[in-house]
Structure 1
Amino acid sequence: MSNRATKGVLLVQLGTPDSPKTSDVHKYLTEFLMDPRVLDIPYLGRTLLVKGAIVPKRAAQSAATYSTIWDPQTGSPLMYYSQLQRDLLQAELGDDYHVELAMRYQNPSLEQALQKMEGMLLDSIRVIPLFPQYASATTGSVIDRVMELMRSWQYLPSVSFVSNYCDDEEMATVFANHSQKYDIAQFDHVLFSYHGLPVRQLGKVDPSGKLSCPESGCDSCKSEKKSHCYLSQCYATTRAIVSKLNIPNEKYSVCFQSRLGKTPWIQPYTSDALHHLAEKGVKKILVFSPAFVADCIETIDEIQVEYANEFKELGGEEVAMVESLNDDPQWINVLKRLATGTN
């Protein structure tokens, strides 16, 4: 009897530069921002903006930031924890499965991972984007690229995608458990900060066809999970975590970070939320960042350093950050359920 793996699992994370050198950060930012699902404007305008303005201006600055979070032994935190998640999931699934990790941008690339899996003649492949909430610019981009790369395969196994798991109860429990490192009662406010998106990208999937979406979302988005709406899924994740911790409505809020350019992005912006809370006399804030399943530059530097310093300059005293899911065994169990399609 053959002991070869018959089922494949492909974990896909956003990506990270190969090193904190400016040249590697330049390559990463260029590939990332040239994706038409990320910067959804015509090719010529996108090329001029990305290669002529954004990347030349940001590469050195971002490289300096990456160097502050880069570990000499383990490298990028995102890569380190993503590799751990791959290895731990492989151990949980056993020899019947083969688990690969790919980055949507840079290395290990989706092309490299899928070339390896193609040669294994697997019966099935389950693709799990490591983004709990669906957005065209993240999960949509992963699915798009996987289908593009597999188009030329002579043998096509059964392929399935996990589009979102934003309100997974066990995932919410892990985030809640990680917050137990802190005494939530000692904090004046709890912020749930998610990665931002241009408002126009929400409008593009508006089923009404109106292609219009308020900058802070509509009321139904904040109370109902919608499979097409990133903002609604951010609120669904928040509700799932809040229910585990019994945080009063008036003590938490949702905001969005990492905006780019002058076009309107989903609001409220995290920076504006900090200003508003400081004006109200809030001194201590606890922050969750549930758009990420591993600590990365957006959580380690942007929130713990940039936003924390900004809040203190406004009169605040403390911004504490809840650790991401990382290599928590219970999170690995969530990945196992997603990989096997079991409850």
Structure 2
Amino acid sequence: MKLKTGILLVNLGTPDSPSVPDVRKYLRQFLMDGRVIDINPIGRFFLVNGIIAPFRAPKSAKTYRELWTDRGSPLLFYGEELADLLQKALGEDYVVSLGMRYQNPSIASALEKLNHQAIKKIIVLPLFPQYASATTGSVHQEVMRVVSKWQLMPQLVMIDSYPAHPEMIATFAELGRKYMKEHTFDHFIFTYHGLPQRQLKKADARCLTNGCCDIYSEENRLCYRAQCVETSRQLAKALGLEEKDYSISFQSRLGSDPWIQPYTDATIERLVREGKKNILVFTPSFVADCLETTIEVGEEYKELFEEKGGKHWQMVESLNTHPRWVNTLKDIVLNA
């Protein structure tokens, strides 16, 4: 019998439903991860279970209801479709399984599916183009926790990042050009999920000093901010933009500690003051439409932009199940 290669696709996760109990359950699992809220475990327990989950869940549930469709959570159904398409693209020598870092389908259940196959190797492919300890690092840690209990452990190949993969950049650019043909934009924003500055400094004390993130090299290849800058640089090049034409920013901050800057909301206000009235915005740290793209960028930031005097705000959708995105993942697998 010919042994196959297992492919574990992993995204962040989604509540099982937009109900308050399911959202509270999701928030608790997500925020109790020591790589997400990297503080003393006792402090994290009381913060999450005593403050964040009880008080944030009702508000988040309301937002999830806005996001939810007849097919459920976009992050989940796009993930399932993507896994099926990648399976077809790779062929019978591979077995593709989808897992979520938090909630369902869990990484453990996705790995169990592969464990029941004749697998010689598992390629772990997180659906995060840029590496961060709170995302890719957490996925790798959970995979090792699960697989370490198996009697027979296959070879594991961990993909850490692909911030400037040519096909991925080309896919984002193709999606953006569709809107550029329909409207004239006077500025472009590349907005990424934010992280507390302390998490970057834990990985490298030199980070966020003396423009260290502005040059992408082997030395800082796993620096999240440097990877975001490199993604933006390559995407701007593909779109024919000059440096003055675009801004890089970071969204979704939580709490009072400083996060990576500049913040997206502050960037929007600055651009409107400078007279930028027509903006096309990309979300290159998200490969599937989700709360942070559809609601936060597509609706909340649009409302802020218009309140401040902007005229036309257009968000470019995520890669979702675009054929070139499927080809990107296939190429990553074949070169792993």
The equivalent residue for 1:223 is 215
Deviation at residue 228 of structure 1 after TM alignment = 2.5
Q: What secondary structure, in the 3-state scheme, does the structure 2 residue paired with 1:133 have? A: coil
Q: Quick one: which amino acid aligns to residue 35 of structure 1?
A: D
- The residue number in structure 1 matching 2:227 is 233
Counterpart residue type for residue 274 of structure 1: I
Deviation of 1:50 after TM superposition, in Å, equals 0.8
Structure 1: runs of 5+ lacking an equivalent: none
In the aligned structure 2, how far is the partner of 1:143 from the partner of 1:171? Answer: 22
Tell me how far 1:212 sits from its aligned partner: 5.7
2:91 alignment counterpart: 94
SS in 2 for 1:228: coil
Which amino acid in 2 is paired with 1:113? A
Pairing of 1:23-62 with structure 2 (within 5 A)? 23-62=21-60
Which residue, out of 159, 163, 172, partners 2:160? 163
Whichever residue aligns with residue 330 of structure 2, its letter is: K
Residue correspondence of structure 1 range 62-211 to structure 2 within 5 A: 62-72=60-70, 74-183=71-180, 186-206=184-204, 211=205
In 1, Cα distance between the equivalents of 2:105 and 2:325? 22
Deviations 1:21-59 (A, max 9, x none): 111110111100000000000111001111111111211
SS in 2 for 1:14: strand
Does the Cα contact within 8 Å between 1:295 and 1:326 map onto a contact in 2? yes
Q: 2: distance between equivalents of 1:212 and 1:250?
A: 27
Alignment check: 8 A CA contact 2:188 2:246 kept: yes
One of 238, 241, 254 as aligned partner of 2:248: 254
Report the Cα offset of residue 113 of structure 1. 1.1
Query: Which residue, out of 309, 313, 327, partners 1:315?
Result: 309
Shifted more, 309-318 versus 113-122: the winner is 113-122
Establish whether residue 294 from structure 1 lines up as the match of residue 291 from structure 2: no
Q: Determine if contact 2:207/2:213 at 8 Å carries over to the other structure.
A: no
Deviation at 1:220, TM superposition (A): 2.9
Alpha-carbon distance in structure 1 between the residues aligned to 2:112 and 2:216: 39
Taking only aligned residues, the RMSD between alpha carbons, in angstroms, comes to 1.3
8 Å contact from structure 2 (residues 24, 53) kept in 1: yes
The structural deviation recorded for 1:116 is 2.1
TM-score, normalised by the number of residues in structure 2: 0.96
CA distance in 2, matches of 1:12, 1:161: 12
Structure 2, gaps ≥5 residues long: none
Runs of 4+ in 1 over 6 A off after TM superposition: none
> Residue type of the partner of 2:102?
Y
Task: Give the match's secondary structure for 2:285.
Answer: coil
- Identity percentage of aligned residues: 49
